A and B are shown apart, each in its own frame.
Chain A
Amino acid sequence: MMQRIINTIKRYHLGPLIGLVILIFILSFATAKFFTFGNLRNVALQISVNALIAVGMTFVILTAGIDLSVGSTLALSAAIAAQLMVGHINPWLAGGAALFVGGLAGALNGVFVAYAGLAPFIVTLGTMTLFRGLTEIYTNGMPIFNLPRGFAGFGTGTFLAIPIPVWVMALVFVAAWVVLYRTTAGRRIYAIGGNERVAFLAGVPVKRYLVGVYVVSGILASLAGIILASRLGSAEPTAGVGYELDAITAVVLGGTSLMGGEGTLIGTLIGALILGTIDNGLNLLNVNSFYQDAVKGLIILAAIMLDRKKSAGR
């Protein structure tokens, strides 16, 4: 019986899901407020920015890459959108321009990785600093305020009682899921991560796809930046510092292998939910903020250990 349960978990990569369920279970009993619609909606809203970045990060990590520049891309695109809107450009146009810049930033990463053959970690470490610097130059180091009121509605409004960022997150997840699991592109991304050489010899245009995943990551980081700016009512040059690590954590918690070729998008969503639930739960439990990070770190380590135990059994 126990063996059958373990097999099912292995087969459908249910480890992270079980972790999440246990976490929710504990918190529901520990605090009266946790399992209420209002609070759960709040958790969903809180994770939306990280979840969007983590989707792009999943694409990149599936090809055995990594994108450390997402936090800086987020800040740069948010600043560009904000500056354009302050200059009375239509918010939709301004947002489009920001997404374009995000895509361009991703393409730059991709070209370095695919065509110059540099290690993704080093390329994006470099562009992380570069994009942050460009943001500071562009904003002169000052936050951009006085964004149009309509724009604020994007991040703070609701539709059918669900916050708009949560809808955006859901749409992006569904679209990304279709791409990864139903299209030739998705299959090829997995193949590249599984074994780049085999994919190349099978006629997969590996370089184009590598550029593609970094473009996806850049665009989604940019979308996250627009949402963040809209929720805060301003674009900060220091926005998104450290977000790349949250996104990577969500992806890894979700069971995706940093070696590429293995992992799921659902896992990433669960990973982001685990992170959001931990944050929310620790707040509700009134844990001293100094202890919060330490506790969070321990929970992450425990979760990953459980996951490794599972894969070591193969």
Chain B
Amino acid sequence: MAQLEMEGISKAFSGVKVLENVNFQVDSGEVVALLGENGAGKSTLMKILTGVYTADEGQILIDGEAVVVRTIRDAQDLGLGMIYQELNLFGNLSVAENFLVGREDKFKTLGFVNYPLLYEKVSATMETLNLNRNPKERLVNLSVGEQQLVEIGKALQQDVRFLIMDEPTSALSKAETDRLFEIVHALKAKGVGIIYISHRLEELFRVADRVTVLRDGRFIATVRTEETTERELVSLMVGRDIEDRYPHEQSTPGESILRAEKLKTSAIRDVSLEIRGGEIVGLGGLMGSGRTEVARALSGIDSLQSGKIVMEGRILHLRSPASAIRSGIVLVTEDRKNEGLLLPFTIRENLALPTLSHRSRLGLVRRQDERKNAEEWVGKLRIKTHSMEQATENLSGGNQQKVVIGKWLACKPKLLILDEPTRGIDVGAKQEIYQLMNQLKLEGKAVLMISSDLPELLGMSDRVYVMHEGTVRGELQGREMQQEAFMRLATGGEV
């Protein structure tokens, strides 16, 4: 039995307090969730624990004794491991070599890498993770979920006593999430203390014993999961009651906006679906089922091998994203950092990018128009910034996502496709995005929403198409829209 305690932790960056007198405690063999909106101070607290930052005040205690954690190395020596939300892996190396990097001394014989030993150790770790891959496989060939397991495996190999997991399920499918939870339970049984960070409340009830809530850098409360409710956690987290997590609005769907008939690309086949004005249509399925690929086909990124896309009665021939945008189809991609935003560029520039040609005369950009556009969307979407000239890399995840949505709404689309629109953003921003989706629906626009967050997908959509192995397995509407029915279709069964 060991106990890890953080006591009276305070930290300020250039005069701004980000943590104030925070207490946190986890025992071995226990899972404690750390909950809070973006900017609540969770990451800073964890970075102090792992030696990335040093606290201004307060101390870290293990079994009641104060320890010094000044470097990442110190943290490792104390048995504190961390799995970051962003993958820190080498795609060009093999799975096994990813385990090797940074720990070369463990697999060294006379200065050479002892590959047999490495493969043996890595295979054993992969087995405990239920990751059925060849250790010699190049990492890029693994799915994002499998890569996440590799990250976990790396931490496991270091004999951690306390493991921090930062949003480990944000990129995982349901099956992969289940597998991860099994691993968490196994680790717990082995006596590892786990600090679990997630925005997905329903997960916390499955894995966590206790939940510690932070808000605005302050400790709010620690509650036992069996004695609390989602509703209570949300109100602790945001400091007020949120009526309905998925505010669904009734509406009467209008005319058909887009109809896809038997679409076939290199990744999907026989996909038919229809989206009408004034409705939010969900597109779900497990990771790798082809959801994103449908979005790519509809927005001109992947070319069709057969089938047709009909928009308001006209057949579209999409050759590029540019032609899809001209036809009124826009896609908010799941990867806002690499596909959605020019991170070092300003809010103003990002918001104007797809509509630049409408904001110019004789090729010259009309700055007035561009500024007005930026002000309009910053206002409408309530993007929190002090200036339009702020670089988007300095915004929080939720505000970044709003900029991406804003740049596409500026195109006045007929169909808005949202791929994982709330991934990695906090509860408050999620609510705003849901309300925005409802507002678009009431304005008569067509919305196609892809999400791995099942309650969100079923809660926000009017109808849901379920994908399985590259094709639409079925459609759920009305009272059929239940998690069980969804999972049966998503795993290839019948409703």
Contact = CB atoms under 8 A, between A and B. Distances in A.
Interface of A: 178, 182-185, 187-188, 190-191, 194-195, 197-205, 261-262
Interface string B358-376: 0110011100000000000
B331 A194 contact: no
Nearest to A194: B342
A202 B407 contact: yes
Contact of B345 (A184, A185, A190): A190
A203 B365 contact: no
B365 A184 contact: yes
24 contacts: A182-B364, A183-B360, A183-B365, A184-B363, A184-B365, A185-B363, A191-B342, A191-B345, A191-B349, A191-B353, A194-B342, A194-B344, A194-B345, A195-B338, A195-B342, A197-B338, A198-B339, A198-B340, A199-B342, A201-B331, A202-B407, A203-B326, A204-B353, A261-B342
Interface stretch (B74-82, B266-274, B317-325): B317-325
Interface in B337-353: 338-345, 349, 352-353
Nearest to A190: B345
Interface in B307-330: 320-322, 325-326
A187 B342 contact: no
Nearest to A203: B322
A201 B342 contact: no
Contacts of A203: 320-322, 325-326, 354
B144 interface: no
Contact of A187 (B343, B344, B356): B356
Contacts of A261: 342, 344-345
Contacts of A195: 338, 341-343
Contacts of B364: 178, 182-184
Contacts of B38: none
Contacts of B322: 203-205
Interface string B114-139: 00000000000000000000000000
Contacts of B365: 182-184, 187
Contacts, number: 71
B477 interface: no
Interface in B62-77: none
Contacts of B407: 202
A200 B321 contact: yes
B333 interface: yes
B301 interface: yes
B357 interface: yes
A204 to B, nearest CB: 7
Contacts of B331: 201
A197 B344 contact: no
Contacts of B353: 187, 191, 198-199, 202, 204
A201 B333 contact: yes
A113 B250 CA distance: 51
Given A182-B364, A195-B342, 8 more contacts: A183-B364, A187-B353, A194-B345, A201-B331, A202-B354, A203-B354, A261-B344, A262-B344
Contacts of A201: 301, 321, 331, 333, 339-340
A202 B357 contact: no
A191 B357 CA distance: 14
A195 B331 CA distance: 17
Contacts of B345: 190-191, 194, 261
The winner among A190, A191, A198 for most chain B CB atoms within 10 A is A198
The winner among A195, A200, A202, A261 for most chain B CB atoms within 10 A is A202
